[in-house]
Structure 1
């Protein structure tokens, strides 16, 4: 399945982002109605932060962009093989991002549910959904749906390999985005995020040490190097160049999460 061509010229932010990811626990979703991107991706942070149907309806009606909601296929309310009651309240204009689900937002029972059959069943009702690949890369690839990858130090190499091997499907790449080259500001914005990536966690000399701007010594060096691998950080021109490189390597959509607040990417 291939959907690599746009029906209209892609709408991109001034730094080249195709989409913006927003976290409803941090941002009033209802205010994001005029963004210079093709897509808004709303992250899942638990049922208590799930935008209601009225908010989603207003967003799809007022926004110039497509709206996608992340739905964990193992979570009650979104489980296509069990309780899928929350799906019934989704407005018709809202697309989906199918994910296994972060354990922090799942009960112990939900975490034990099989992922592969649920992704397959969910795609039957939402064939245009994106599929999050974190921890389930092979299962996600087997679906043939748009792959939703987290940016890593090997992303460009992987993209090149997939395109060379003949994979012609869409690949969306997600990355926290920080438009500054100030090391302290970068660590305050994404230090904790990159520290949770397994290769980074294994390289840190002391997992209990601070990961923000107060980090020092070897920890600070590891985190700043990792920030460039796992996030889009730097001046606007530097970030724009990195996004161009990702697109050249084979990404069809680059999704930025505004790690220092939505206004930074909307100004």
Structure 2
């Protein structure tokens, strides 16, 4: 294993999230993780059943399936869902609006999520925008890292939730501020509190200066895993102490950044 891949393993991150528009998802087999989730970026980018089955021979593979999208709708067109290999699991989500048509966005989430859970084996359920509905399923909660995640995890555990909780976070194994901003600046800038705090029209990448740069770098630590191996390892450990059972890292600088010698 190459040096940076070993470093990723040393952080305590135990799952990786890959985007099929950015890389061949088969490269997940090179990463020091036991689980990989494949993000949904439109049906035209969905990996073939054959490639998913091949990857599942080496890893626990889960495909993000938006329950409102044609092809994954358990109350309608479920052709793509039916084609998924039995060895591949699901991360059931309401679906990012950017990848849904107007008609799909209008579909009710709750009945579709409930039906999808009933038809799945050990699914993870994405909480984004549907927290209460997701919690009601009793399945593994799939949460995006935010500034309130630690508090939210402790609250869930204190309230008696005993199920698994997976936390997803863009990951940048670098101390360099410019590298961090180029990798996750746009992502964190879209978070509501961050967008409100940013000066209007300010760059969100390495070109950010002054107040914008301060806001973005602070937000990067809230909404992503950033820094050297030891810093990320401490953050992962804190998430586990708060109640997370799985930490899913998305390689925000690309898979090569995790594998580069």
What secondary structure, in the 3-state scheme, does the structure 2 residue paired with 1:128 have? coil
* Change over 3 Å in CA distance of 1:101–1:14 after alignment to 2: same
Greater helix percent: which structure?
2
1:179 corresponds to 2:173: yes
The alpha carbon displacement at 1:18 in A equals 1.4
Task: Indicate conservation of the 8 Å contact 2:89/2:121, yes or no.
Answer: no
The alpha carbon displacement at 1:266 in A equals 4.2
The alpha carbon displacement at 1:161 in A equals 1.3
The residue number in structure 1 matching 2:14 is 18
- Aligned partner (choices 224, 247, 250) of residue 254 of structure 1: 247
1:196 corresponds to 2:190: yes
1:217 corresponds to 2:210: yes
What secondary structure, in the 3-state scheme, does the structure 2 residue paired with 1:80 have? coil
The residue number in structure 2 matching 1:46 is 42
The alpha carbon displacement at 1:13 in A equals 2.0
The alpha carbon displacement at 1:231 in A equals 0.3
Task: Indicate conservation of the 8 Å contact 2:225/2:235, yes or no.
Answer: yes
User: In the aligned structure 2, how far is the partner of 1:156 from the partner of 1:166?
Assistant: 16
TM-score, structure 1 as length reference: 0.92
1:126-156 CA-to-partner distances (Å, cap 9, x unmatched) read 0411000011111101111100000001100
User: In the aligned structure 1, how far is the partner of 2:108 from the partner of 2:126?
Assistant: 15
The alpha carbon displacement at 1:162 in A equals 1.2
User: In the aligned structure 2, how far is the partner of 1:126 from the partner of 1:31?
Assistant: 26
User: In the aligned structure 2, how far is the partner of 1:98 from the partner of 1:171?
Assistant: 14
Task: Indicate conservation of the 8 Å contact 2:16/2:36, yes or no.
Answer: yes
CA root-mean-square deviation: 1.2
User: In the aligned structure 1, how far is the partner of 2:138 from the partner of 2:121?
Assistant: 10
Q: Which runs of 5+ in 1 are unaligned?
A: 1-11
1:155 corresponds to 2:159: no
Q: Which runs of 5+ in 2 are unaligned?
A: 1-7
User: In the aligned structure 2, how far is the partner of 1:264 from the partner of 1:239?
Assistant: 15
User: In the aligned structure 2, how far is the partner of 1:263 from the partner of 1:179?
Assistant: 12
Task: Indicate conservation of the 8 Å contact 1:127/1:145, yes or no.
Answer: no
TM-score, structure 2 as length reference: 0.94
- Aligned partner (choices 60, 69, 72) of residue 75 of structure 1: 69
Structure possessing the higher relative contact order (Cα contacts under 8 Å, 6 or more residues apart): 2
| Pairs aligned (count) | 253
1:144-199 CA-to-partner distances (Å, cap 9, x unmatched) read 11000000011001111111121111100000000111111100000000000111
The alpha carbon displacement at 1:261 in A equals 1.2
